[in-house]
Amino acid sequence: MHRLLTTGLKKHYQDSKADFQAKVPLLYYLHVSLLVFLSITVVLVIFLTPQGCRLFYLLLVLFSLVIILVANGLNLSGRYDSALKCTIIIMFFSPWASILYESFRGSGDSMPILFVVIPIQIAALYLATKSMLWISGVQIAAVIANIILNQSKENYNWISIVCYVFIASLLGSVTSYMIRTQYNKLLASKNELALNQEKLRDISIHDALSGVYNRRYMDEILDMLTRTPEHPFAVLMIDIDHFKNINDICGHSKGDFIIQNVAAILTSLTRKNDIVCRYGGDEFLLILSECTYDNALHKAEDVKQAVGGIGCTCDNPNATEVTASIGIALYPENGTSKDALLHAADIALYHAKEAGRNRIRAN
């Protein structure tokens, strides 16, 4: 039984821990309903059950109450799987304990057999269809065997009883199949939605032309980094020299080509934790994590030389070589906020351009 339940659970709920936790309230309300039902049953057993079988049924109901309380505690403590197993097992155990007891007594009471359909319908909410078919088949066979072996079988309308249990079991299996199908569709829709949200997020933080991060993402990262003064970093503000003239002389397609090439160069020169952003137009921002001034200067030299290696982009005699001016700012030395750091890098870039372009300056 334990193996069957485990297999049914794994096949029916192949989802994340968060999805399991979402089902905790559903199982909790089932436990509350069962506890109320069993509490009322205790009162009925005490006052209405004949003296000869009162003790047995009282112990059975009290035992069921204890198991449901334990299952509820497991559920609330995060052990959903164990709680569900305990719940389903006790729901099948109690009716069959009553059936076997009445058969042993030879009372001819067929009512306990009718109660076996209740756990079938409840289990259909949680178990896979294959497990439900197995459980239903075992229950039908057990009902038939009990009727055949029962000394009071002449008191049973056994054909009606077996048909009743069979139909209820079939409905439970169909319910399980429908729930599983709809759940899988819902889970697939949820995963697709999460994937689409991830794609939209990716689109929203990347520049369409260059493929590197955009200014929006740059602002987010700098805001985050400037809240952790124990982790210094450097910012390289990179400007493509005379980019307007390149667009005017060689055309905007060549200008786009240069933007893409510079972005590719910056990406190839960065480490895993560094971030390349397009600041706007012909400007890029390179965020170098855990970087000293000397390391930032060496990186800026590498960038300047690599950009200069692009060469001339068209055959027009008025076209110039592609070069870049770079301004360096350090956190927290040159600013402890995003705006202060960008302002420091911008001033350094201005000095690089004033010095004749294709230069590197630090604030």
Do residues 102 and 169 share a domain? yes
Give 9-49 pLDDT, tens digit per residue. 444 444 445 455 557 888 898 899 989 999 998 999 899 88
281 occurs within a structural domain? yes
E strand or H helix that includes residue 238: strand 233-240
Do residues 121 and 51 share a domain? yes
204 occurs within a structural domain? no
Say how many domains are in the chain. 2
Q: Which residue has the tokens 């990406």?
A: 267
276 occurs within a structural domain? yes
Do residues 145 and 266 share a domain? no
What average pLDDT score do residues 326-353 get? 96
Runs of H (alpha helix) within the chain: 2-12, 17-22, 24-48, 51-76, 80-105, 111-114, 117-123, 129-149, 158-204, 215-225, 243-250, 252-269, 293-308, 338-354
> Given CA atoms 172, 174, 180, 186 in this order, what sign does their dihedral have?
negative
Q: Are 240 and 307 in contact (CB under 8 A)?
A: yes
- Residue 70: what pLDDT? 95
Burial class (CB in 10 A: 0-12, 13-18, 19+), 299: buried
- Residue 130: what pLDDT? 78
Give 124-182 pLDDT, tens digit per residue. 777 777 777 787 788 788 877 877 776 555 655 666 767 777 777 777 777 777 777 87
Half-sphere exposure (CA, 13 Å, Cβ side) for 48? Answer: 6
**Which CATH number covers residue 276?**
3.30.70.270
Which domain range does residue 119 map to?
Answer: 2-197
The CA distance from 118 to 244, in Å, is 78
**What strands lie across the sheet with 324-331, from one edge to the other?**
275-280, 283-289, 233-240, 324-331, 360-362
Q: Are 165 and 156 in contact (CB under 8 A)?
A: no
Structure tokens at 2: 């334990």
Do residues 118 and 83 share a domain? yes
Q: What is the pTM of this model?
A: 0.57
Q: What are φ and ψ of residue 17, in 5° steps?
A: -60, -35
Do residues 243 and 141 share a domain? no
Which one, of 323, 333, 327, 338, lies nearest residue 362 by Cα? 327
